């Protein structure tokens, strides 16, 4: 596919800003609000920030690595950019929708690309009940927290919490405990992308918990519902030689 109107956005790092200046000098560009495609320069964090910022524009995002972690980005090269964009392979993602209810009964909704995480706020461990599609699967989980991750987010916080890496495009979600104390050996679960996850906070006043959906934090929650938002689609573009599937397999076998 040919993209006529290209926009460039960059992280605040020196490498990303230098790349931005060089690319704008080399190629004609337009503001992101007018673009057919947005080229994001930075790391995975910049890619996620760009996806959030231009979610309603529904245009593809092509990342080039000018940051620390570049799992979701292509190699940085300045030459033949229009040709690379025309040859790029699209991968579609759906964000998660979090609906959090606080102890005071207030409801807060947010979309996230990476994960929804619940974390203890105080010195005592959280005590949670986990239900999937209306069935209680974990009556009581004592832990520092728990998270629900998308395939795109499975290599972020989820991986640090020893959760599974999920191939981008797979219709799966990772349900991963954070420092589980009881049951100590529970490592989480892989759920279908259509799953409706409900996490109830037990003893919420004594053991307060916050919920975080990417950049949105809700304090003192008593219930959090998470499901994939199929009505919202984000498109990432990858060079054919980027071979995202191979990178995912390699990551899983890295000591």
Range of the domain at 45: 6-93+233-252
Same domain, 71 and 183: no
pLDDT confidence bin for 255, thresholds 50/70/90: low
Q: Where are the alpha helices (DSSP H) in 13-53?
A: 14-26, 44-53
Same domain, 88 and 111: no
pLDDT score recorded for residue 91: 87
Same domain, 112 and 74: no
Same domain, 215 and 202: yes
Same domain, 149 and 115: yes
Is pLDDT at 81 greater than 90 in this prediction?
yes
Same domain, 17 and 87: yes
Pairing of strands 145-149, 115-120: antiparallel
Same domain, 104 and 211: yes
Give the tens place of pLDDT for each residue, 33-62.
999 999 999 998 898 889 989 988 889 999
Long-range contacts of 150-153 (CB under 8 A, 24+ apart): 150/93, 150/94, 150/95, 150/96, 150/112, 150/113, 150/114, 150/115, 150/228, 151/93, 152/48, 152/72, 152/93, 152/113, 152/114, 152/236, 153/112, 153/113, 153/114, 153/115
pLDDT confidence bin for 248, thresholds 50/70/90: low
Torsion of CA 173, 131, 51, 66, to 10 degrees: -60
pLDDT confidence bin for 254, thresholds 50/70/90: low
Give the tens place of pLDDT for each residue, 167-181.
877 889 999 999 999
Let me know: does 211 contact 224? Beta carbons within 8 Å. yes
Same domain, 113 and 187: yes
Give the tens place of pLDDT for each residue, 126-167.
999 999 999 999 999 999 999 999 988 888 899 899 999 888
**Euclidean distance between CA atoms 69 and 52, whole angstroms:** 18
Q: Flag whether 1 is in a domain.
A: no
In this structure, what CATH number is given to the domain that contains residue 240? 3.40.50.10330
Task: Give the list of residues 6+ apart from residue 191 with CB closer than 8 angstroms, or none.
Answer: 132, 148, 172, 173, 174, 175, 197
Same domain, 244 and 159: no
**Euclidean distance between CA atoms 78 and 74, whole angstroms:** 12
Look over the chain and give the mean of its residue pLDDT values, rounded to a whole number: 92
Tell me whether residue 45 is exposed, middle or buried, using C-beta atoms within 10 angstroms of its C-beta: 0 to 12, 13 to 18, 19 or more: middle
Same domain, 114 and 181: yes
Same domain, 141 and 188: yes
Is pLDDT at 71 greater than 80 in this prediction?
no
The domain tally of the chain equals 2
Same domain, 221 and 106: yes
Residues assigned a catalytic role: 44
What is the SS3 string spanning 105-135?
CCEEEEEECCEEEEEECCCCCEEEEEEECCE
Record the tokens describing residue 181, joined without a space: 């104390």
Nearest to 26 by CA among 83, 79, 88, 87: 79
Task: Give the list of residues 6+ apart from residue 180 with CB closer than 8 angstroms, or none.
Answer: 141, 142, 143, 186
Is pLDDT at 67 greater than 80 in this prediction?
yes
């Amino acid at each position: 596919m040919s993209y006529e109107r290209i926009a460039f956005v960059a992280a605040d790092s020196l490498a990303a800003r230098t790349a931005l200046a060089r690319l704008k000098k080399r190629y004609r560009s337009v503001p992101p609000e007018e673009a057919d495609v947005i080229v994001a320069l930075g790391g995975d964090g910049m890619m996620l920030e760009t996806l959030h910022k231009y979610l309603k524009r529904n245009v593809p995002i092509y990342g080039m690595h000018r940051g620390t972690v570049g799992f979701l980005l292509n190699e940085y090269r300045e030459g033949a950019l229009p040709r690379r964009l025309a040859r790029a392979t699209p991968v579609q993602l759906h964000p998660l929708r979090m609906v959090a209810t606080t102890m005071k009964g207030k409801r807060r909704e947010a979309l996230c690309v990476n994960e929804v995480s619940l974390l203890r706020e105080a010195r005592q461990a959280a005590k949670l009940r986990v239900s999937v599609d209306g069935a209680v699967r974990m009556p009581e989980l004592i832990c520092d927290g728990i998270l629900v991750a998308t395939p795109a987010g499975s290599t972020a916080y989820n991986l640090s919490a020893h959760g599974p890496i999920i191939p981008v495009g797979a219709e799966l979600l990772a349900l991963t405990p954070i420092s589980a104390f009881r049951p100590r050996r529970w490592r989480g679960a892989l759920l279908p992308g259509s799953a409706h996850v409900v996490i109830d906070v037990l003893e919420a006043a004594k053991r307060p918990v916050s919920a975080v959906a990417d950049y949105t934090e809700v304090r003192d929650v008593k219930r959090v519902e998470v499901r994939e938002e199929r009505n919202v689609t984000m498109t990432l573009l990858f060079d054919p030689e980027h071979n995202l599937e191979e990178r995912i397999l390699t990551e899983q076998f890295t000591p």
